[in-house]
A and B are shown apart, each in its own frame.
Chain A
Amino acid sequence: AQSVSQHNHHVILSEAASLELGCNYSYGGTVNLFWYVQYPGQHLQLLLKYFSGDPLVKGIKGFEAEFIKSKFSFNLRKPSVQWSDTAEYFCAVNATNAGNNRKLIWGLGTSLAVNP
Protein backbone atom coordinates (compact mmCIF):
# COMPACT_ATOMS: atom_id res chain seq x y z
CA ALA A 1 0.00 0.00 0.00
CA GLN A 2 1.09 3.52 -0.68
CA SER A 3 2.14 5.74 2.20
CA VAL A 4 3.67 9.16 2.63
CA SER A 5 5.91 10.22 5.48
CA GLN A 6 6.69 13.78 6.46
CA HIS A 7 9.56 13.84 8.89
CA ASN A 8 9.02 17.18 10.55
CA HIS A 9 5.73 17.74 12.33
CA HIS A 10 6.49 21.19 13.68
CA VAL A 11 9.13 23.60 12.43
CA ILE A 12 9.90 27.04 13.85
CA LEU A 13 12.15 29.40 11.92
CA SER A 14 13.13 33.02 11.93
CA GLU A 15 12.57 35.16 8.86
CA ALA A 16 15.28 34.80 6.19
CA ALA A 17 16.20 31.30 7.38
CA SER A 18 16.29 28.51 4.83
CA LEU A 19 13.62 25.83 4.83
CA GLU A 20 13.67 22.19 3.89
CA LEU A 21 10.71 19.91 4.65
CA GLY A 22 11.19 16.23 4.12
CA CYS A 23 8.75 13.95 2.29
CA ASN A 24 9.23 10.28 1.51
CA TYR A 25 6.76 7.95 -0.10
CA SER A 26 6.37 4.23 -0.30
CA TYR A 27 5.17 2.84 -3.63
CA GLY A 28 6.77 0.59 -6.20
CA GLY A 29 5.32 2.18 -9.30
CA THR A 30 5.33 5.56 -10.99
CA VAL A 31 3.85 8.40 -8.99
CA ASN A 32 2.81 12.00 -9.31
CA LEU A 33 3.92 14.20 -6.42
CA PHE A 34 2.37 17.29 -4.89
CA TRP A 35 2.90 19.81 -2.14
CA TYR A 36 -0.16 21.63 -0.86
CA VAL A 37 -0.21 24.50 1.62
CA GLN A 38 -2.93 25.59 4.02
CA TYR A 39 -2.54 29.12 5.36
CA PRO A 40 -4.34 29.95 8.61
CA GLY A 41 -8.07 30.17 7.99
CA GLN A 42 -7.76 29.28 4.33
CA HIS A 43 -8.30 26.16 2.27
CA LEU A 44 -5.71 23.84 0.75
CA GLN A 45 -3.84 25.36 -2.16
CA LEU A 46 -1.47 23.72 -4.60
CA LEU A 47 2.12 24.82 -4.01
CA LEU A 48 3.83 22.74 -6.67
CA LYS A 49 3.61 19.42 -8.49
CA TYR A 50 5.75 16.89 -10.32
CA PHE A 51 4.52 14.64 -13.10
CA SER A 52 7.57 13.97 -15.26
CA GLY A 53 10.65 15.62 -16.73
CA ASP A 54 13.00 17.86 -14.79
CA PRO A 55 13.03 16.53 -11.21
CA LEU A 56 13.53 20.03 -9.84
CA VAL A 57 10.19 21.79 -9.89
CA LYS A 58 9.43 25.37 -8.98
CA GLY A 59 6.19 26.49 -7.43
CA ILE A 60 4.57 29.63 -6.19
CA LYS A 61 6.11 32.05 -3.70
CA GLY A 62 9.68 30.94 -4.29
CA PHE A 63 9.20 27.32 -3.25
CA GLU A 64 10.84 24.44 -5.06
CA ALA A 65 11.01 20.69 -4.64
CA GLU A 66 13.31 18.00 -5.93
CA PHE A 67 12.16 14.52 -6.85
CA ILE A 68 14.88 11.96 -6.12
CA LYS A 69 13.54 8.69 -7.44
CA SER A 70 16.26 6.53 -5.87
CA LYS A 71 15.41 7.91 -2.44
CA PHE A 72 11.63 8.00 -2.94
CA SER A 73 11.79 11.60 -1.79
CA PHE A 74 10.23 14.91 -2.74
CA ASN A 75 11.59 17.47 -0.31
CA LEU A 76 10.31 21.03 -0.28
CA ARG A 77 12.75 23.93 -0.08
CA LYS A 78 12.79 27.68 0.15
CA PRO A 79 16.05 29.63 0.51
CA SER A 80 14.62 32.44 2.64
CA VAL A 81 11.30 32.18 4.46
CA GLN A 82 8.97 35.04 5.30
CA TRP A 83 6.49 35.48 8.12
CA SER A 84 3.72 34.99 5.54
CA ASP A 85 4.95 31.44 4.93
CA THR A 86 3.51 30.42 8.30
CA ALA A 87 1.16 27.59 7.35
CA GLU A 88 0.60 23.85 7.29
CA TYR A 89 2.36 22.01 4.47
CA PHE A 90 1.19 18.69 3.08
CA CYS A 91 2.97 16.27 0.80
CA ALA A 92 0.79 13.98 -1.33
CA VAL A 93 1.23 11.36 -4.02
CA ASN A 94 -0.95 9.43 -6.40
CA ALA A 95 -0.22 6.50 -8.65
CA THR A 96 -0.16 6.93 -12.39
CA ASN A 97 -1.40 3.39 -13.03
CA ALA A 98 -4.37 3.50 -10.69
CA GLY A 99 -6.90 3.77 -13.47
CA ASN A 100 -9.02 6.88 -13.49
CA ASN A 101 -9.09 7.30 -9.72
CA ARG A 102 -6.16 9.53 -8.89
CA LYS A 103 -6.87 9.63 -5.16
CA LEU A 104 -4.19 11.39 -3.20
CA ILE A 105 -2.30 9.68 -0.39
CA TRP A 106 -1.23 12.25 2.17
CA GLY A 107 1.46 12.84 4.70
CA LEU A 108 0.39 14.06 8.13
CA GLY A 109 1.54 17.58 7.41
CA THR A 110 4.18 19.92 8.78
CA SER A 111 3.24 22.98 10.73
CA LEU A 112 5.63 25.83 9.95
CA ALA A 113 5.81 28.92 12.13
CA VAL A 114 8.03 31.78 10.97
CA ASN A 115 8.91 34.37 13.57
CA PRO A 116 9.32 37.95 12.35
Chain B
Amino acid sequence: GAGVSQSPSNKVTEKGKDVELRCDPISGHTALYWYRQSLGQGLEFLIYFQGNSAPDKSGLPSDRFSAERTGGSVSTLTIQRTQQEDSAVYLCASSRAGTSEETQYFGPGTRLLVL
Protein backbone atom coordinates (compact mmCIF):
# COMPACT_ATOMS: atom_id res chain seq x y z
CA GLY B 1 0.00 0.00 0.00
CA ALA B 2 0.91 3.65 -0.19
CA GLY B 3 3.33 4.96 2.34
CA VAL B 4 3.56 8.35 3.98
CA SER B 5 3.83 11.11 1.41
CA GLN B 6 5.14 14.63 1.88
CA SER B 7 5.18 17.71 -0.29
CA PRO B 8 7.01 19.59 -1.50
CA SER B 9 10.15 17.48 -1.56
CA ASN B 10 12.30 20.61 -1.63
CA LYS B 11 11.53 24.19 -0.73
CA VAL B 12 13.77 27.22 -1.04
CA THR B 13 12.48 30.41 0.51
CA GLU B 14 13.71 33.81 1.55
CA LYS B 15 14.15 34.77 5.16
CA GLY B 16 10.95 36.23 6.54
CA LYS B 17 8.59 34.36 4.25
CA ASP B 18 6.02 31.82 5.46
CA VAL B 19 6.11 28.19 4.30
CA GLU B 20 3.66 25.31 4.46
CA LEU B 21 4.71 21.68 4.47
CA ARG B 22 2.23 18.90 3.87
CA CYS B 23 2.04 15.32 5.12
CA ASP B 24 -0.33 12.61 3.97
CA PRO B 25 -0.17 9.66 6.39
CA ILE B 26 -0.77 6.00 5.72
CA SER B 27 -4.48 5.28 5.46
CA GLY B 28 -5.87 4.07 8.77
CA HIS B 29 -3.02 5.46 10.86
CA THR B 30 -4.46 7.65 13.58
CA ALA B 31 -1.19 8.94 15.00
CA LEU B 32 0.95 11.48 13.15
CA TYR B 33 4.32 12.91 14.15
CA TRP B 34 6.49 15.72 12.79
CA TYR B 35 10.25 15.65 13.30
CA ARG B 36 13.06 17.92 12.17
CA GLN B 37 16.47 16.71 11.04
CA SER B 38 19.08 19.43 11.27
CA LEU B 39 22.72 19.16 10.32
CA GLY B 40 24.72 18.14 13.35
CA GLN B 41 21.69 17.93 15.62
CA GLY B 42 20.00 14.75 14.54
CA LEU B 43 16.27 14.23 14.57
CA GLU B 44 14.09 16.06 17.04
CA PHE B 45 10.40 15.71 17.80
CA LEU B 46 8.17 18.67 16.92
CA ILE B 47 4.49 17.79 17.33
CA TYR B 48 2.17 14.79 17.74
CA PHE B 49 -1.44 14.29 16.66
CA GLN B 50 -3.67 11.44 17.74
CA GLY B 51 -7.21 11.21 16.46
CA ASN B 52 -9.35 14.07 17.72
CA SER B 53 -7.24 14.71 20.81
CA ALA B 54 -5.44 17.98 21.37
CA PRO B 55 -1.98 17.80 19.78
CA ASP B 56 1.19 17.57 21.83
CA LYS B 57 3.10 20.67 20.73
CA SER B 58 5.88 20.34 23.28
CA GLY B 59 8.61 20.01 20.65
CA LEU B 60 7.84 23.11 18.61
CA PRO B 61 10.90 25.39 18.86
CA SER B 62 9.07 28.71 18.73
CA ASP B 63 5.64 30.27 18.24
CA ARG B 64 6.51 30.76 14.57
CA PHE B 65 5.82 27.04 14.15
CA SER B 66 2.30 25.65 14.04
CA ALA B 67 0.61 22.59 12.66
CA GLU B 68 -2.85 21.32 12.08
CA ARG B 69 -4.43 18.07 11.04
CA THR B 70 -7.70 18.24 9.20
CA GLY B 71 -10.19 15.43 9.28
CA GLY B 72 -7.80 13.21 11.15
CA SER B 73 -5.71 12.68 8.03
CA VAL B 74 -3.59 15.23 6.18
CA SER B 75 -1.39 17.49 8.28
CA THR B 76 0.18 20.85 7.47
CA LEU B 77 3.21 22.27 9.28
CA THR B 78 3.48 26.04 8.92
CA ILE B 79 6.56 28.09 9.65
CA GLN B 80 5.98 31.84 9.76
CA ARG B 81 8.66 34.45 9.20
CA THR B 82 11.26 31.81 8.38
CA GLN B 83 14.79 32.19 9.69
CA GLN B 84 17.99 30.65 8.38
CA GLU B 85 18.16 28.33 11.38
CA ASP B 86 14.88 26.77 10.21
CA SER B 87 16.77 25.16 7.32
CA ALA B 88 16.44 21.42 7.84
CA VAL B 89 14.69 18.32 6.61
CA TYR B 90 11.18 18.08 8.01
CA LEU B 91 9.98 14.51 8.41
CA CYS B 92 6.50 13.20 8.97
CA ALA B 93 5.68 9.78 10.40
CA SER B 94 2.44 7.96 11.03
CA SER B 95 1.52 4.94 13.09
CA ARG B 96 -1.39 2.77 14.09
CA ALA B 97 -1.76 4.08 17.63
CA GLY B 98 -3.19 2.09 20.48
CA THR B 99 -1.24 -1.07 19.80
CA SER B 100 1.36 -2.41 22.18
CA GLU B 101 3.91 -2.48 19.39
CA GLU B 102 3.36 0.88 17.79
CA THR B 103 5.80 1.51 14.96
CA GLN B 104 6.28 4.78 13.11
CA TYR B 105 6.65 4.85 9.33
CA PHE B 106 8.32 7.82 7.74
CA GLY B 107 7.77 9.88 4.65
CA PRO B 108 10.57 11.09 2.36
CA GLY B 109 10.76 14.47 4.06
CA THR B 110 10.75 18.07 2.89
CA ARG B 111 14.15 19.70 2.57
CA LEU B 112 13.76 23.37 3.51
CA LEU B 113 16.42 25.94 2.71
CA VAL B 114 15.98 29.46 4.00
CA LEU B 115 18.21 31.98 2.26
The answer on a CB contact under 8 Å between B45 and A104 is yes
In chain B, what residue has the closest Cβ to A107? Answer: B42
Q: Which residues from chain A contact B48 at a C-beta distance below 8 Å?
A: 101, 103
Are B101 and A103 in touch, CB under 8 angstroms? no
- Do the beta carbons of B103 and A103 come within 8 Å of each other? no
Using known A-B contacts A44-B91, A106-B42, A108-B42, determine if residue A101 contacts B104 with beta carbons closer than 8 Å: no
A103 touches B33 (CB 8 A): yes
Q: How many residues of B are counted as interface, with CB atoms below 8 angstroms from the partner's CB atoms?
A: 27
Interface size, chain A (Cβ < 8 Å): 22
Residue-wise, chain A 84-116 has the 8 Å CB interface mask toward B (1 for contact) of 000000101000000011111111110000000
Residue A11 lies at the interface, judged by CB distance under 8 Å to chain B: no
Q: Report whether A101 and B50 are in contact in the complex, using a CB–CB cutoff of 8 Å.
A: yes
Rounded to whole angstroms, the CA-CA distance of A42 and B91 in the bound complex is: 12
> How long is the Cα–Cα vector from A90 to B103 in the complex, in angstroms?
15
Chain A CB within 8 A of B52 CB: no
* Interchain CA distance A104-B106 in the complex, whole Å: 12
Residue among A32, A44, A49, A107 making CB contact with B106, cutoff 8 Å: A44
Is A106 touching B44 in the complex (CB atoms < 8 A)? Answer: yes
Q: Given A44-B106, A102-B95, A90 and B101 touching (CB < 8 A)?
A: no
Question: Quick check: is B56 within 8 A (CB to CB) of the other chain?
Answer: yes
Residue positions of A touching B, CB distance < 8 A: 32, 34, 36, 42-46, 49, 51, 90, 92, 100-109
Could you list which residues of chain B lie within 8 angstroms of chain A, going by C-beta atoms? 31, 33, 35, 41-45, 48, 50, 53, 56, 59, 91, 95, 97-98, 100-109
